[in-house]
Structure 1
């Protein structure tokens, strides 16, 4: 449910069953549709929009000359914010995208020997703090495009005032990346079909000379019989070459398996560190918790992650969706059960 903050908020990107051009952002646990992504059909420019699924109010959008443009704009509304989203991938390096939020630099980067993309807040020479992780779906899953995990417990270590705005940026930035991949695959498919058509035409023209070549082949049959001895040597060379290829493929497979195991161990280590940090933060938060009997619920802004900041910035009160009322009711119910 939108607005209900947890240690990890998990979303999945699913292609709509009603319209394949629409991508739904669903809650991973409940499959509830939280947002929708719609793309404007303009051949002269690229525009992808993140909207509320009920009211279709525009929450954020990504714009550029094309989906493959190196530099795009991400726009948020109510309050209005403009962000530069840049493709900083090197010639030989992994995929990399960069943007700035509230004065801090965030970097989307493809993980080593993996299809996963992770976003970190980077500061100087520090290793960075991971705030999001995107895992693309396997090829067998045609409707699901991938899973996004936003690590809010790590955001507590970063001075982020508008966490909802940062969430919108993270969600639409990956949607923009998916549009880029989809357009590249579509263009590659069209190019392949064009090459196939050209080959078929060329083969049709070559068939006209087939009958003439048959006569020449009959005349050369005797010469082929005399050269059968050299053909045996050629077969031996082919067998040796085939054996070398098989051995090379087996060695590459073993290396890939060892590398995969190393990546798995690193991933498990990272997950264990994240869980330990979350546990420590939860203990610290529970120890510092004090009940406020004079708590004024009427002043609690729904769907806001930073109450102190919202008091000083009235504009952030408008970054709401239709899910906020339900979220507020569920939050109040949980608080009542906790106090009772």
Structure 2
């Protein structure tokens, strides 16, 4: 094999591993080459691409000891995670310790599809344990759980004189869920989030309320005599999302809203279409690839967005680009249903990289535990310690 062909093979092998498409044979080859250190440069290159790093970012990484790309440890941890994929061996030493960076007696599994549906009359349905099929009839809609776990509001059999009641779907810490709203819009809820909506929308508008974080793919609907009918032309029914005093108005588009109360700002990231973000008397229009940030004072700023990072959670990943440790740990806290405590002076490191959300807590912490930081898992508490 020529040197150029070998480079292309290594690059493709790393890409298939990161995209989780590698076969078992490829995984074995990957592990062997990782141990020899032959894939470090290619892994770093692919991680930079996935994280959206620019040449300016890479120059900053080289110049500053305070910005550390995750692939510096990822190159080591990837082999361990690979062994998990091939042999199903848990990354736990007999004494209950990781490789010197994470101490624990009992590991914690990652989050899963878990949510509770609260109907208009107050009745609750635990969605993750509910069986497939019809769950309830509400406001003219038949609420069903599909084979793949989605909750769907079906209006195909609704009469014209139905009454509308409000439903709420909420996820706990360590939960996520997908729902198809009565208008056909898809919504993904992240951990510790909720969405409140009418079981049947009116022709005038579609209005929902969220807490936490949600990703929307909004259906395009026309103002017709029956909301169940749609066409390609005419005036569209607006879709409005309210979150912590912010209002997002759309017609049909894909976007993500992060409105957790313990985050520094409410962030609306647009992937497709156009939306108006407003709070109080201030309003802005954002375009695909932009993010509107509403700070606690109510002012709104528009910045370029890293769309991949913004929606990585929906695709089963943690994705960081120059995020500080506390920001990283807030995501860990929500997904693994743990509380985080800090001891000592915490380094002001900025993290860049990706971690799969399907690994155990100790594995996730092992990947991000470097630069004088260690972790201890005590029950459902994670203690972050400086060296």
Do they superpose with TM above 0.5? no
**Range class of TM-score, shorter chain:** under 0.3
Q: Which has the higher helix share?
A: 1
TM-score normalised by the chain length of structure 1: 0.26
Larger radius of gyration: 1
Point out the structure with the larger strand share: 2
